[in-house]
A and B are shown apart, each in its own frame.
Chain A
């Protein structure tokens, strides 16, 4: 599985944080946390159909509510 390049949090802050400084120590802790999250996104992305949609969850919930009661 190829590693996504993502944002290099060692050297660059995202533009959405322009003007806000994140101290190095805290950034390193975040970087470790985010790296683990990115791996989860990669793993899920590999098995996620291209037509999966944010609205799917509503259909899944409705179908479960409608399932025959045992």
Chain B
């Protein structure tokens, strides 16, 4: 592989597609580089569930032939990607990170994968995830725990653990994941990359593993803001196969990368941020300075009762998970890992009336947050993890009673956002000497991912994307 190809292999998906289209490299070269990179990454970090080398190289050869034939090329033409192993793919059975899975191969590709394929991308591997995407740490008692590429003793965050590893190490520029309580944000933060949890109902869930339908969101993890914008522009929008997807117009996410951040006002809830460790607060202050320098305005805001929002999120999520897993848990309990089994049980002890209360209250609670907390703000700045990224060992709690409070601390700043259905952009803190990755989030208004893209691009002009050395 040439030096130019090496450089491109660590570029954005947008740059890769452009280089393939204008003949500076080939899809085969980039796909071989991605596979060569991902193999040692997997050995070090347990990032992959299935390598798909043969199919990927076939797809790359077809992509190169299309270039030679001057065919019409999509915006991801020939770009090798890899995704969390939770999406249907025609003729395959996704692992869902679990021992229990569908009995029959899927008939069709999940909607999001079909859209990426139509744009020209192909998949080189199915990536590690927390069992059933039901855990925020990257622990998996079936496939083994994921390990952080910056320090193998640390968690990767979950549940989109493999997606964050593959992107952080430069194996692929983008990987899809999902977020039901923080599963795009926590791995992106722990591994030092970016992610976008879209507004709930913005992206189709057709063919994605269900966990909690009122909270589930599919979105990208990437190193570059322009890739978040491109991927969202491809996967967002109404899908007749998913009746929940919104019919509302999409914003121009890519144009938003060039928009003026000085037009944006950011809310700061000092009391809520004050629940984070001193070190996290210090790093968040450093991130805030980047946006102040870029001209953003800041306003103090206050969530009326953050804890109540988090409890409503649990009242909605836990019974939905329990219901989805009802037959599995009764009939195949031994096939679960202990942590997920213990958490799936919880929803059975929540009454149907309380679940309905949480569901019916969602509009009222969101209206209150938009009117009272956001006010005129465009986004609210919060940490992702409340503390330094924990070690695998300290959260290796199996099904012990300490599990629920420990995970509640990890989810402090993320789970309530799913209840509110709001979009959230995760960005990594700048790292001083020896500092481990961690990250913060901007919570946006409904369907205003364009404003989050402006913030992502603004930050990237000051803090360059990193690649973890393996």
Contacts and interface: CB of A to CB of B under 8 A. Distances in A.
Interface of A: 4, 6-7, 9, 13-14, 16-20, 22, 25-26, 28-31, 33-34, 36-41, 43-45, 47-49, 52-62, 64-65, 70
B308 A62 contact: no
A70 B445 CA distance: 14
A26 B311 contact: no
B310 to A, nearest CB: 9
A16 B326 contact: yes
A30 B357 contact: no
A34 B367 contact: no
A32 to B, nearest CB: 8
Contact of B360 (A18, A48, A70): A48
Question: At the interface, is chain A mostly helix, strand, loop or mixed?
Answer: helix
Given A22-B345, A52-B360, A40 B312 contact: yes
Question: At the interface, is chain B mostly helix, strand, loop or mixed?
Answer: helix
Given A20-B330, A20-B333, A26-B399, A33 B361 contact: no
Interface in B35-83: none
Given A37-B354, A38-B354, A17 B330 contact: yes
Nearest to A54: B359
B346 A33 contact: yes
B140 interface: no
Contacts of A16: 322-323, 326, 348
Top 5 nearest A-B pairs (CB, nearest first) are A56-B363, A40-B311, A61-B446, A29-B401, A41-B354
Contact of B315 (A9, A41, A53, A70): A41
B448 A20 contact: no
A60 B370 contact: yes
Contacts of A17: 329-330, 345, 348
B253 to A, nearest CB: 14
Contact of A61 (B199, B308, B345, B376): B199
Interface string B321-345: 0110010011101000000001001
Contacts of A41: 311-312, 315, 353-354, 357-358
B448 A65 contact: yes
Given A16-B322, A17-B345, A43-B308, A34 B350 contact: yes
A52 B399 CA distance: 37
Contact of A30 (B349, B359, B448): B349
Interface of B: 199, 201, 214, 246, 248, 307-308, 311-312, 314-315, 322-323, 326, 329-331, 333, 342, 345-346, 348-351, 353-354, 356-367, 370, 376, 399, 401, 403-404, 421, 445-448
Given A7-B351, A14-B348, A57 B329 contact: no
30 contacts: A13-B348, A16-B326, A17-B329, A22-B345, A26-B342, A26-B345, A26-B401, A29-B401, A29-B403, A29-B404, A30-B404, A34-B346, A34-B350, A37-B315, A37-B350, A38-B351, A38-B354, A40-B312, A41-B353, A44-B358, A47-B364, A54-B214, A54-B362, A56-B363, A57-B362, A58-B363, A60-B363, A60-B446, A61-B246, A65-B447
Contacts of A57: 362-363, 366, 421
A14 B446 contact: no
Contact of A59 (B214, B342, B363, B365): B363
A58 B330 CA distance: 35
Nearest to B354: A41
A60 B366 contact: yes
Given A20-B330, A37-B314, A44-B312, A65 B248 contact: yes
A19 B330 contact: yes
B6 to A, nearest CB: 43
B5 to A, nearest CB: 43
Nearest to B310: A40
Contacts of B312: 40-41, 44
Given A9-B349, A14-B348, A17-B348, A40 B308 contact: yes
Contacts of B342: 26
Contacts of B448: 65
